[in-house]
């Protein structure tokens, strides 16, 4: 194991190297809605972000299991980080010849951390999604009215997702400030995302219970003001 | 920090206490399709399961954001761990007076681990889901033909999910056998679930790229035979 100072220096070099590389993502830049958050993290020597998505609506053409008909760009019929109108989707669907699926994919962020020795990647994601099959073998299976209804929901989720990013940013900022003043490690308060302690009637040590799905239960709860509504997952180093 | 033998004894007592408690889940028992997996884990002194779901189709009545109209049982219109036919859903939808959503929730398992000092909860989940709004203020927004189409997809996902549980069981069994013979820690091989190294053109150290969503990309890939297709997430102790 490396001496702490060596470890810190090595992390710093690694971070500099990674952040200096070209952004190889489809878009080639960080999403507008997470720029501040990414900057907040990258300004701290103990973190750097490896990938992120602010949340997006995507329309994909694939087979019935969600596997793409072809892996080239043609399977992406539409990608947008902004609210979306019916006509955009109707137009994009005309290009579908397989089974098109509309998804809302919420905010996700991967952060490399210096201080978590055994869990160096932090994934931050919201579970507020949608996954809706729309066409089968190129044939539209829903009405235009349904697409409008669905986009209303997707756009509302995008709006809610934006609020969650803001709340997460604020939580993180406070945690970083506390860390600076008290030298205690950064900890984001997460109320509803504990994998098995989210039901009040259960004690944290509760043994095996079937069908306790944190994500689902969270959907049923109203958001509390101090809960960013975003899940934080730690990945082990070699994951 | 506890001495290893004390720690082991304490974990053993905790496990016995937890497993002896009544199962407080809705169903009151472990899902049939994960019984063997749960038994395999609980037979090992270094693990115990805290919750699981083999995968299920659920129909919920909620408001437009997915928050339930009421928290009582009425918001659950249908829950099944078996393939589902159209008439069941049509019948259940008659009870909807809000915005009903059909979900396929894949396999999820939470495991308490003795040996991961800083990451004592392991969540195993597949990302193979569905989340489809069906009605608005009690009014059905899709055709019966669409519901049939959707249930075909949900039932296929359930079938695929079952195969993934089997593959995961086999992977785990081999890992546990290797552990017994070589005394090396249990490690499940996971090809596609790395949070940021799943694109071949990227190096593992690749810096910030926008919209690299592992779950989405995984959907586009064909399953490989040696990949259980299930995500393993480590949670820190106090998560």
pLDDT digits (tens, 9 = 90+) for A137-172: 999 999 999 999 999 999 999 998 898 889 888 888
**Rounded mean pLDDT of B52-62?**
90
pLDDT band for position B63 (50/70/90)?
low
- Report the pLDDT value the prediction gives residue A178, as an integer from 0 to 100: 80
Contact state of B220 with A71 under an 8 Å Cβ cutoff: yes
Residues of A within 8 A of B98 (CB-CB) are none
Q: In this predicted structure, what is the pLDDT of residue A219?
A: 29
From chain B, pick out residues whose CB is under 8 angstroms from the CB of A71: 220
CB B102 within 8 A of CB B134: yes
Among B51, B145, B211, beta carbon nearest to A208: B51
CA–CA separation, B199 and A222 (whole Å):
37
Please tell me the predicted confidence (pLDDT) of residue A3: 65
Chain B residues in contact with A58 (beta carbon < 8 A): 216
Does residue A119 contact residue A237 with C-beta atoms inside 8 Å?
Answer: yes
How would residue A224 be classed by pLDDT, with cut points 50, 70 and 90? Answer: very low
B5 vs B88 pLDDT, higher one? B88
Probe site for chain B from A207, A212, A234, A236 (most B CB atoms < 10 A) = A207
The span from the CA of B99 to the CA of B101, in Å, is: 7
Separation in Å, CA of B214 to nearest CA in chain A: 10
Comparing CB atoms, the residue among B14, B31, B211 nearest residue A26 is: B211
Asked if residue A202 lies in contact with residue A209, where contact means CB atoms within 8 angstroms, the answer is yes
User: Beta-carbon neighbour count of residue B40 at 10 Å?
Assistant: 16
Residue B217 pLDDT grade (very low, low, confident, very high; cuts 50, 70, 90): very low
pLDDT of residue A93: 94
Q: Between A100 and A110, where is the model more confident? A: A100
Give the H or E element holding residue A103. Answer: strand A99-113
Sequence length of chain B is: 239
Question: End-to-end alpha-carbon separation of chain A, Å?
Answer: 19
Q: Quickly tell me which residue has 């359930």 as its tokens.
A: B158
Across the interface, whether the CB atoms of A118 and B116 are under 8 A apart is answered yes
- What is the predicted pLDDT for the residue at B213? 31
Q: How far is B181 from chain A (nearest CA, A)?
A: 23
**Chain A residues inside the 8 Å CB shell of B51:** 195-196, 208-212
pLDDT of residue A223: 31
Chain A with chain B: Cβ pairs closer than 8 A: 262
Q: What's the average model confidence in pLDDT over B184-190?
A: 55
Least confident of A2-6, A132-136, A188-192: A188-192
CA-based nearest residue to A108, from A65, A146, A161, A69: A161
Q: Using one digit for the tens of pLDDT, what is the confidence trace for A204-221?
A: 333 444 333 333 233 222
Contacts with A38 from chain B: Cβ below 8 Å: 208
Secondary element (H or E) of residue A40: helix A35-42
Minimal C-alpha gap between A9 and chain B (Å): 16
- Distance from the Cα of B18 to chain A's closest Cα (Å) equals 4
As a whole number, mean pLDDT of residues A77-101 equals 93
CA dihedral A156, A162, A166, A167 (to 10 degrees): 40
> What is the CA angle B62-B67-B72, rounded to 5?
70
Q: Taking the CA of residue B190 as centre, how many other CA atoms within 13 Å lie in the half-sphere pointing to its CB?
A: 26
What is the pairing mode between strands B135-136 and B121-125? unpaired
Distance from C-alpha of A61 to C-alpha of B67, rounded to nearest angstrom: 29
Amino acid B82: pLDDT? 92
Mean pLDDT of chain B: 72
Find the angle CA(A160)-CA(A225)-CA(A212) to the nearest 5 degrees.
Answer: 75
pLDDT tens digits, A9-67: 888 888 888 888 767 666 778 888 899 999 998 898 888 888 888 899 999 998 655 44
* Alpha carbon distance B214, B225 (integer Å): 19
Mean pLDDT of A99-112: 87
Please give the pLDDT value at position B77.
93
> In a mutagenesis test of the B interface, which of A110, A148, A209 is the best target, namely the one with the most B β-carbons within 10 Å?
A209
Choose the most confident range, by mean pLDDT, from A3-7, A197-201, B48-52: B48-52
CB-closest option in A150, A210, A220 to B67: A220
The β-bridge partners of B68 are B62
**Percent of chain B having pLDDT more than 70?**
62
> Using a CB-CB distance cutoff of 8 angstroms, which residues of chain A are in contact with residue B161?
none
- DSSP string covering chain B: ---HHHHHHHHHHHHHHHHHS---SSSSS--GGGHHHHHHHHTSTTEEEEEEEEEEEEEEEE-TTS-BS-SSGGGEEEEESS---HHHHHHHHTT--SEEEEEEEEEEEEEEESS-TT--EEEEE----EEEE-EETTEE-S-HHHHHHHHHHHHHHHHHHHHHHHHHHHHHHHHHHHHHHH-PPP----SS--SS--STTS-TT---EET--HHHHHHHSPPPTT----EEEEEPTT-
Tell me if B53 and A212 make a contact (CB, 8 A cut-off). yes
**Rounded-to-integer distance, Cα B105 and Cα B65, Å:** 18
pLDDT at residue B173 is higher than 60: yes
The domains located in chain B, with CATH, are 25-158+230-235 (3.30.1960.10)
């Amino acid at each position: 194991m490396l001496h702490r100072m060596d470890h810190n220096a090595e992390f710093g070099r690694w971070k500099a190297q990674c952040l200096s590389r070209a952004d190889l993502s489809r878009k080639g830049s960080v999403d507008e809605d997470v720029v501040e958050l990414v900057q907040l993290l990258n300004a701290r020597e103990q973190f750097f972000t490896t990938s992120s998505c602010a949340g997006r609506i995507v329309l994909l053409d694939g087979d019935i299991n969600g596997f793409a008909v072809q892996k080239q760009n043609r399977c992406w019929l539409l990608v947008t980080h902004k609210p979306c109108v019916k006509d955009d989707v109707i137009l994009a669907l005309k290009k579908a010849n397989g089974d098109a699926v509309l998804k809302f994919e919420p905010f996700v962020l991967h952060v490399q951390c210096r201080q978590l020795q055994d869990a160096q990647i932090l994934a931050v994601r919201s579970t507020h999604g949608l996954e809706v099959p729309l066409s089968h073998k190129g044939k539209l299976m829903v009405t235009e009215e349904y697409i409008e209804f669905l986009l209303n929901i997707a756009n509302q989720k995008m709006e809610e997702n934006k609020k969650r990013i803001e709340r997460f940013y604020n939580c993180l900022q406070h945690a970083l400030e506390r860390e600076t003043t008290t030298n205690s490690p950064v900890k984001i308060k997460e109320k509803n995302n504990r994998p098995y302690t989210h039901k009040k009637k259960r004690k944290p040590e509760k043994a095996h219970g079937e069908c306790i799905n944190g994500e689902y239960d969270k959907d049923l709860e109203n958001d509390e003001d101090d809960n960013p509504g975003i899940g934080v997952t730690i990945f082990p180093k070699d994951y």
